[in-house]
A = this chain, B = another copy of it.
Amino acid sequence: MNRFMGLHEECGIFGIYNAEGNCARSAYYGLYALQHRGQEDCGIVAMNDVKLSCHKGAGLVGDVFGEKILNELGGTMAIGHVQYGGRNGSLGGSIQPLTLTYIKGSLAIAHNGNLINSDALKREFEFKGAVFHTNTDSEIIAYIIAQARPHCNSVEEAVNQAMKRIKGACSLVVMSSRKLIAARDPWGFRPLCIGRKGDSIVFASESCALDSVEAEFIRDVDPGEIVWVDDGVLHSNRENCVSKSSLCIFELLYFARPDSVIDGQSVYEARINAGRCLADEYPINSDVVIGVPDSGLVAAKGYSIATGIPNDDGFIKNRYIGRTFITPLQTGREEAVKIKLNPLRATVNGKRVIMIDDSIVRGTTVVPIISLLRDAGAKEVHVLSSSPKFIAPCYFGTDIPTRHELFAFNHSTEDMRKIIGADSLGFLSLESLSKIAPDSKCGFCDGCFSENYPVTK
């Protein structure tokens, strides 16, 4: 599964408090670092005094924002969001962060994740006469906050009430006129961390976004925790920190950037470990091990370290393929793949090759890739997936196809091997999966591989 080949990404969120201003610009750099979590829409909302300013648009961060806009946004606080946008259908205006007014003035909100009780919550509010402008979970959460606020002493307490009512995945940043708030659902499905640079405080989906603004990593927001900045001071409420934590394991395997550290676990090392585990499970006699760029590369390195089989570049990836790329006429995916990936004959010609990809979902893109290797002279092609078999849906924000389309749900491993034309085929086992994150302070959700979900409707 490669980023340019279709599986949709998660969202990324970012928030910053800096009394000296220019927060929108910091959010810009933060979103740049989180761009891998969503390339379709992005937005930044900044607070100057008690006034919200907002700029959002379709496209990459670098295309949506320019110098002039960032200067106009300014901000002593700002929150930002990147997302894969197609989910939200025909209703306009669903690019996050949402900006709202409610009884206490302005509110901006952005989240990452998927609620499983959103329909029930929405229905409840509609009966009371609510109108919805979007079909985002953010708007539902905003409603809970707005309805709780008259009965609470503070906006952070209203956020606390909201977090009690939701079920599912939700890492959240909220900005009121004076406070910047971050919250993580009790299961901790999606990552969220805290950084500091001088007197400024930063919240971000991944630690790589802290690095991009030169903020020092402080700690992760704990599952269930609510943290907020009030007049420069960081506070925490942990009364919802009650569940067994369940970070989405696919964050480590695919979503997150390798230079991020999530809940104590280096993403890079988790992928090295996945490669090592594959080496234990599938010790294949071969000449070279290669990764499918970009996300299969690290696991291939891990396999090589464990086995001593040389790791080399099997493909050169065209770095310029963008969203406007025009697909070749009258041809299958093979030609398209060929423009995106070109095999290195020097690496594979005459060799027995182990090729590691980060996952095999539908089984369609792997076929032309194998074919490219054979055309380039590979004698054998052994395929390993650094993820286990996808057999079940995800209810928490990962865009898994229906079972009907899931290769591993519909075929045995041997059938799959024949269909894709590999000499052998292996997937990381669930047992190995449990070993890839030894440094993590978190439990994991592996529902898409195991059908065990930590929370249900």
Contact = CB atoms under 8 A, between A and B. Distances in A.
Most chain B CB within 10 A, of A60, A131, A212, A338, is at A131
B320 A60 contact: yes
Most central of A32, A130, A150 by chain B CB within 10 Å: A130
Contact of A90 (B52, B102, B148): B52
Interface in A152-195: none
Copy count, this protein chain? 4
A318 B35 contact: yes
Contact of A312 (B52, B54, B301): B301
A71 to B, nearest CB: 10
A182 to B, nearest CB: 20
A398 interface: no
Contacts of A33: 318, 339, 342
Nearest to A272: B346
A211 interface: yes
Interface size of A as a range: 35 or more
Contacts of A150: 127, 129
Given A133-B98, A146-B129, A146-B131, A298 B313 contact: yes
A265 to B, nearest CB: 10
Given A52-B91, A131-B142, A329 B25 contact: yes
Contacts of A301: 312-313
Interface of A: 22, 25, 28-29, 32-33, 35-36, 39, 51-54, 56, 60-63, 65-67, 70, 90-93, 98-103, 107, 126-133, 135, 139, 142-143, 146-150, 208, 211-212, 214, 257-259, 261, 266, 268-269, 294, 297-298, 301, 305, 310, 312-313, 315-316, 318-322, 324-326, 328-329, 335, 338-339, 342-347
A226 to B, nearest CB: 20
B130 A102 contact: yes
Interface residue SS majority, chain A:
mixed
23 contacts: A29-B339, A32-B320, A36-B320, A54-B92, A61-B320, A62-B321, A62-B322, A66-B324, A91-B99, A92-B93, A98-B133, A99-B133, A100-B133, A103-B126, A127-B150, A128-B128, A129-B147, A208-B316, A212-B342, A214-B338, A258-B344, A268-B313, A268-B346
